[in-house]
């Protein structure tokens, strides 16, 4: 493969932006899964998997391109970390959706609706921030807002788990719903890790 | 910011020691939470959160100082790893305390009392070891003892989980107590990871 | 210690191969634990622990040798990552076995038999691939097959968890069996991480 440094720089940032857009789509599908009835959920899960699969391919292209690029626009390790942390976000969103379908739960706790709203905002902010990585300018509002969203998500998570233990008398239903809420909270945490990674790169490079 | 290499070196090691002292305080508060009744626990949780928050600030100062330091006293990556592993210890101690409060459990299993005792010893040993990082001298007893404590903690964990499945007939109580014991064990594991990190740095640099 | 670069290279690859052979043995013992009755399981767990302990020693030798080697045959960080990822595989196989013994379960779900079969194949492929690391040749079939096995394992895992929630009426039995299946799946995931690590090294170095 011939190496065109400038083109590769563009292509690397484009692939990060593309991964972020897959996250926006995936969080939208997760919301649809949460609002759907049991029958629709199975087919929506396929849509979510397709999104995850596309993001996976984009991540592999990204890794190959890092390896094929002699001088990378950011530290090689930083790029790898950005890619793999974004990959973690997608995996956790995908697993949350899977879990809902696999457990054949009916109506989901209110916390799930509130958490998917947080996830959608995280994905949207991430997708808006990625194109600014190139200049590393105006990034601070991104990680500040993600941290606020994560704090809010944490309160929803706690209240949701607390209510579950008070109201859900059937232990098997409790196990299922607890795990779904936990997986959604883990996905929000992954978005926070991504924002922290961006912060530490931006602080170091600026 | 003007860079004073020598002062920064001192300041970096001071921040690691400060984080370790926060861990000592946090494990003390966790012990108080375990011994308290349900009413007191909520306010003790605030104390624990304040400790975690202070440690978080100290961790951010530490990261900024690494980035602002041209020649660091240890490998930059090693310093980052030390900081983030200590941060993990704090997060897990904090989560264990949270879990106890959130689940509104009454009397806790004997294993919790034994595990918090292990955690307190881990934190104390860590706090004593951190000031010696500067010279990397006399560190071996630290990681050897932490590994012994982790092994002992593992035995307590196993026996505790085993007893729980034998004695606890209510599945919801079992879920709660199992998770509290698991989180305490995860916190001990984090102290072991920290000791392993210190060991690998000390072995490489000496 | 006197340093003999060439010998150290050989010794490093030998230690990786040795760790992989311990994984083969450990997966065999895990299969025996799954097929055994409760009485036999306790003593088989000791065999599994001995295997894990031997692998641990081999891992420490490996780390010390990396640190004692001036010019390593692969990137120092890559070698550390290979060693610690293989260590993760062993820990997760060991924990799966522990869990079965600790929870005093009787007959295990069909999924456990199928998952241990996947694990055995993963370990065998890993053990065959490690000696080829030296030349980084003919590695692709290794990570392709491991990824196929992981996909297959994932289907078994999902079907197994789904069936468990349909058929297991006792919540405590459900908790136990669910966690055993999850730990086996986590062990398969660790083999996939190892294969991904090998892939990214091979792609970069070739």
In DSSP notation, chain B reads ----HHHHHHHHHHHHHHHHHHHHHHHHHHHHHHHS-HHHHHHHHHHHHHHHHHHHHHHHHHHHHHHH-SS-SS-HHHHHHHHHHHHHHHHHHHHHHHHHHHTT--SPPHHHHHHHHHHHHHHHHHHHHGGGGGTT-S-HHHHHHHHHHHHHHHHHHHHHHHHHHHH---HHHHHHHHHHHHHHHHHHHHHHHHHHHHHHHHHHH-
Interatomic CA distance for residues C58 and C52, integer angstroms: 10
Give which of B175, B182, B183 to mutate to test A binding, by max A Cβ within 10 Å. Answer: B175
Mean pLDDT for the stretch of residues A13-42: 96
Among the ranges given (A197-206, B15-24, B103-112, C78-87), the one the predictor scored with the smallest mean pLDDT: A197-206
Mean pLDDT for the stretch of residues C91-114: 95
C204 → chain A, closest CA residue: A67
What domain range includes position A167?
5-205
Per cent of chain B over pLDDT 90 is 83
Interatomic CA distance for residues A36 and A44, integer angstroms: 9
Candidates A63, A102, A171; nearest CB to C161:
A102
Give which of C52, C92, C175 to mutate to test B binding, by max B Cβ within 10 Å. Answer: C175
Interatomic CA distance for residues A62 and B195, integer angstroms: 35
Interatomic CA distance for residues B160 and B115, integer angstroms: 10
In contact, B173 and C171? CB cutoff 8 Å? no
Please report, for residues A55, A121, B173, the alpha-carbon distance to residue A197 in angstroms, rounded to integers and kept in the order given: 19, 18, 38
Per cent of chain C over pLDDT 70 is 97
Tally Cβ neighbours within 10 Å of residue C178.
18
Question: pLDDT value at position B4?
Answer: 53
In contact, A117 and A187? CB cutoff 8 Å? no
Domain count, chain B: 1
Question: pLDDT value at position B48?
Answer: 97
Question: pLDDT value at position C205?
Answer: 81
Instruction: Please answer yes or no on whether A104 and C165 come within 8 Å at the CB atom.
Output: yes
Q: What is the pLDDT of residues B42-62, one digit of tens each?
A: 999 999 999 999 999 999 999
Task: Find chain B residues with C-beta within 8 A of C98's C-beta.
Answer: 158
Q: What is the pLDDT of residues A72-129, one digit of tens each?
A: 999 888 999 999 999 999 999 999 999 999 999 999 999 999 999 999 999 999 999 9
Question: pLDDT value at position B86?
Answer: 96
A102 → chain C, closest CA residue: C162
Task: Find chain C residues with C-beta within 8 A of B165's C-beta.
Answer: 103-104, 172, 176
User: Which residue do the tokens 């999104």 mark?
Assistant: A51
Classify burial at A57, counting beta carbons within 10 Å of its beta carbon; exposed 0-12, middle 13-18, buried 19 or more. exposed
Classify burial at C79, counting beta carbons within 10 Å of its beta carbon; exposed 0-12, middle 13-18, buried 19 or more. buried
Interatomic CA distance for residues C206 and C186, integer angstroms: 30
Interatomic CA distance for residues C198 and C190, integer angstroms: 12
Q: What is the pLDDT of residues C153-199, one digit of tens each?
A: 999 999 999 999 999 999 999 999 999 999 999 999 999 999 999 99
Question: pLDDT value at position B6?
Answer: 67
Q: Is the pLDDT of residue C103 over 80?
A: yes
Q: Is the pLDDT of residue A5 over 80?
A: no
Q: What are the residues of chain A with a beta carbon less than 8 Å away from any beta carbon of chain C?
A: 63-64, 67, 98, 102-104, 171-172, 175-176
Chain C: closest CA distance from residue B90 (Å): 23
Q: Is the pLDDT of residue A1 over 50?
A: no
Tokens of B127: 């706090």
Interatomic CA distance for residues C93 and C44, integer angstroms: 13
Question: pLDDT value at position C2?
Answer: 47
Q: Is the pLDDT of residue C6 over 70?
A: no
Task: Find chain C residues with C-beta within 8 A of A67's C-beta.
Answer: 200, 203-204
Chain C: closest CA distance from residue A171 (Å): 6
* C-alpha closest to that of A85 among A175, A23, A131, A32: A23
Question: Is the model more confident about B205 or about B86?
Answer: B86
In contact, C193 and C88? CB cutoff 8 Å? yes
Please report, for residues A58, A162, C17, C31, C56, the alpha-carbon distance to residue C128 in angstroms, rounded to integers and kept in the order given: 30, 50, 8, 20, 20
In contact, C73 and C10? CB cutoff 8 Å? no
Per cent of chain A over pLDDT 70 is 97
A173 → chain B, closest CA residue: B172
Query: How many B-C residue pairs are in contact by the CB < 8 A criterion?
Result: 22
Per-chain mean pLDDT for chain C: 93
CATH of the domain at A199: 1.20.58.220
């Amino acid at each position: 493969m011939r190496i065109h440094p400038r083109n590769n720089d563009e292509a690397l940032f484009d692939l990060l932006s593309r991964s972020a857009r897959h996250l926006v789509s995936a969080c939208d599908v997760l919301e649809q899964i949460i609002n759907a009835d049991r029958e629709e959920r199975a087919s929506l899960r396929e849509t979510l998997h397709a999104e995850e699969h596309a993001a996976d391919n984009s991540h592999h292209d990204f890794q190959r391109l890092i390896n094929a690029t002699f001088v990378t626009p950011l530290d090689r390790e930083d790029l790898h970390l950005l890619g793999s942390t974004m990959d973690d976000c997608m995996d956790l969103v995908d697993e949350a959706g899977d879990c809902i379908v696999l457990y054949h739960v009916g109506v989901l706790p209110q916390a799930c609706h509130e958490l998917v709203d947080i996830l959608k905002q995280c994905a949207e902010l991430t997708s808006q921030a990625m194109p600014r990585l190139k200049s590393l300018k105006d990034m601070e509002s991104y990680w500040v807002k993600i941290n606020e969203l994560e704090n809010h998500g944490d309160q929803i998570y706690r209240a949701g788990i607390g209510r579950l233990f008070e109201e859900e008398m059937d232990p098997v239903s409790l196990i299922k719903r607890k795990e779904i809420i936990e997986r959604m909270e883990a996905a929000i945490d992954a978005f926070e890790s991504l924002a922290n990674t961006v912060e530490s790169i931006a602080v170091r490079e600026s």
